[in-house]
Amino acid sequence: MDAAIRKQLKIKACKARMGIIEGVFNAKSGHPGGSLSCVDIVTYLYFNHMNVDPRNPQKEDRDRFVLSKGHAAPALYSVLALKGFFPAENLKTLRKSDSMLQGHPSMKYTPGVDMCTGSLGQGVSTACGMALAAKLGNKAYRVYTVLGDGEIQEGQVWEAAMFASAKGLDNLVAVVDNNGLQIDGKISEVNSPYPIAEKFKSFGWNVIEICAHSFDEIDAAFNAAAEFKGKPSVIVANSVKGKGVSFMEDQVSWHGTAPNAEQYEQAMSELTQALAELEA
Amino acid sequence: MADIIKTATRDAYGKALVELGDINDKVVVLDADLAAATKTGMFKKAHPEKFFDCGIAESNMMGIAAGLAASGYTVFASTFAMFAAGRAYEQVRNSIAYPHLNVKIGATHAGISVGEDGASHQCCEDIALMRAIPGMTIINPADDVEARAAVLAAAEYEGPVYMRFGRLAVPRIFDEDYKFEWGKAVVLNEGTDVTICATGLMVNEAIEAQKILAEQGISAEVINVHTIKPLDAETILRSAAKTGAIVTAEEHSIIGGLGSAVAEAVCETAKPVPVVKLGVNDVFGKSGPAVELLHIYGLDAQNIVEKAKQAVSMK
């Protein structure tokens, strides 16, 4: 990946992280951990990969994005705001009763959101439906969906995995945000979905494993997926929950907890410093 | 009466889908390994490129339907009522109804008249489940003519629709030129003593009951409530104001279905009238020949007559 592009993506992702913290802090609730773990990938998709137009969110030939792990909504909202789908000030209204930003993504409220998600396991099926629609209409658009690693404990994910492979949906790319943690603890201990890559392979998917925080690896993975024909692709993205905020990293307690004022200051200070270093 | 035509509403569903496929290139049909039984197999044969079998995975099928609908297609997703409204309830709620997507759920094999398959497949709770979902339209046609008309009308409507079809061949009630009015209950027979609100295969029983009641000097008004949600309360309340008593008849639990919907509408008026409900009386079904089961569970004209008399006596 071009160094200048990589730098820009890092800057965008850092700003997106600030938006996540801003939103969750003001809402006094929400899911910072899993938002921070997938935000590099969401940033990459919106700024360097997908065909979308913030001035025309419903444009027919746009690529689609379904956040199947809907609780990571702050990551999606933060990136959509950066991309210009709506003003960044809205991020502070997250989860409030007059906000366009629902606790979980809703296409009814938010420009740029392609599907209502939040109930785990369901988004991936709708993404399959969108990919099938593209095939049916001979459309070139592609469909992207991000799943949680805990989410793949839902049986519906494997119904969808079987379907996507059986119908040859090579215009679909799923990402498993493998941060290793779910609400009740380590996914390996709660009800292990491992080995993830082998499971998708056996379901007939093209499997790519990467580090979720390396834009070079992310870029290579999505480009490889775009070139792979005949099967859907899944990117098993090994990530760190809470990535980018020191005290949130790899801590299950930050799955669904908002920072207090002091923690907010510390998180924003860390991210501000990181941003300054990136922009230097 | 040898000339009575009997057709299952599921057959009419299959045929109507084929018709739709001929005229509307946005129509896509999904099934979950029951195409022969739901009759979507007819569409599969006529329009194979627009038919997708999702296999035995109803939850995923509802998500596929949602994704297709969000991409501009008019999707008919079909399986048995038990699996459409039961197993995939939450997918219908969250992936289809919450975004108000253009998915038509073709739920066949509803109610007791599934017959021999027994309780595991006899869904008598689907209307109750679907009624509770905001923005869901529920249509329960009375015969094959109405079923066809409802399917064609549903394709023109923008939003989620739950359509309930039966396995059992039922007598044709309506003429071929029957006009299906979206959301409008149909007064089939005017009367003055009691109103019979019926839906699905109980409409024919209500017509029979009206004849029996007439012989006994009771004038019954028969209303075909093909659309249970949104309920045409206006037509029902106007009739109730005239007759002063209501009987509801449905092949569904007495909890949450037509009877509940009518009672809810009636009790919120200044002058409520007695509402007596005939339906599956909060029990599971069992195996047996469909017609025999309908009698065992009291879903016939004779029981409507008894309930009508009861309602009249309560005035």
Q: Is A1 helix (H, G, I), strand (E, B) or coil?
A: coil
Element (H, E) at B76: strand B74-80
- Is the CB of B71 less than 8 angstroms away from the CB of A130? yes
Residue B313 CA, chain-centre distance (Å), reads 29
pLDDT of residue B3: 76
**Tens-digit pLDDT profile for residues A215-267:** 999 999 999 999 999 999 999 999 999 999 999 999 999 999 999 999 999 99
- Is the CB of A128 less than 8 angstroms away from the CB of B63? yes
Q: Is B158 helix (H, G, I), strand (E, B) or coil?
A: coil
Q: Is B299 helix (H, G, I), strand (E, B) or coil?
A: coil
Provide the shortest C-alpha distance from residue B67 to chain A (in Å): 4
Taking CA atoms, what residue in A is nearest to B52? A167
What tokens were used for B304?
A: 């409507």
Cis link prior to B171 (omega < 30° from 0)?
Answer: no
Chain A contact set for B54 (CB, 8 A) = 163
Burial class (CB in 10 A: 0-12, 13-18, 19+), A111: middle
Contact A23, A92 (CB under 8 A): yes
Spatial separation of the C-alpha atoms in residues B225 and B250, rounded to whole Å: 10
- Is the CB of B63 less than 8 angstroms away from the CB of A129? yes
Interface of A with B in 78-107 (CB under 8 A): 106-107
pLDDT of residue B2: 54
Q: Is A4 helix (H, G, I), strand (E, B) or coil?
A: helix
- Is the CB of A122 less than 8 angstroms away from the CB of B99? no
Chain B contact set for A106 (CB, 8 A) = 98-99
Mean residue pLDDT across chain A: 98
Spatial separation of the C-alpha atoms in residues B196 and B224, rounded to whole Å: 8
- Is the CB of A119 less than 8 angstroms away from the CB of B90? yes
pLDDT of residue B124: 98
Which residues, in sequence order, are CB contacts of B174 under 8 Å at separation 6+? Answer: B142, B143, B145, B146
Spatial separation of the C-alpha atoms in residues B298 and B162, rounded to whole Å: 25
Q: How many CB pairs under 8 A join A and B?
A: 105
pTM for the model: 0.97
**Tens-digit pLDDT profile for residues A41-55:** 999 999 999 999 999
Any chain A CB within 8 A of the CB of B99?
A: yes
Provide the shortest C-alpha distance from residue A54 to chain B (in Å): 18
Which residues, in sequence order, are CB contacts of A89 under 8 Å at separation 6+? Answer: none
- Is the CB of B57 less than 8 angstroms away from the CB of A162? yes
Cα–Cα distances (Å) from A203 to A155, A159, A231, in that order, read: 13, 10, 10
Chain B contact set for A161 (CB, 8 A) = none
pLDDT of residue A123: 98
- Is the CB of B63 less than 8 angstroms away from the CB of A108? no
Residue A92 has pLDDT above 90, yes or no: yes
Listed as ranges, residues in chain B with pLDDT below 50 are 1
Where does the pLDDT of residue A146 fall: very low under 50, low under 70, confident under 90, or very high at 90 and above?
A: very high
The DSSP code sequence of A175-207 is EEEE-SEETTEEHHHHH----HHHHHHHTT-EE
Spatial separation of the C-alpha atoms in residues B147 and A258, rounded to whole Å: 52
Spatial separation of the C-alpha atoms in residues A115 and B125, rounded to whole Å: 28
**Tens-digit pLDDT profile for residues A69-81:** 999 999 999 999 9
Spatial separation of the C-alpha atoms in residues B288 and B53, rounded to whole Å: 30
Query: What is the set of active-site residues of B?
Result: 58
The torsion angles phi and psi of A127, rounded to 5 degrees, stand at -65, -40
Interface of A with B in 159-178 (CB under 8 A): 159-160, 162-163, 166-167
Contact A20, A32 (CB under 8 A): yes
Provide the shortest C-alpha distance from residue B252 to chain A (in Å): 29
Q: At what angle do helices A122-136 and B58-70 cross, to 10 degrees?
A: 50
Any chain A CB within 8 A of the CB of B74?
A: no
Spatial separation of the C-alpha atoms in residues B147 and B15, rounded to whole Å: 10
pLDDT of residue B309: 98
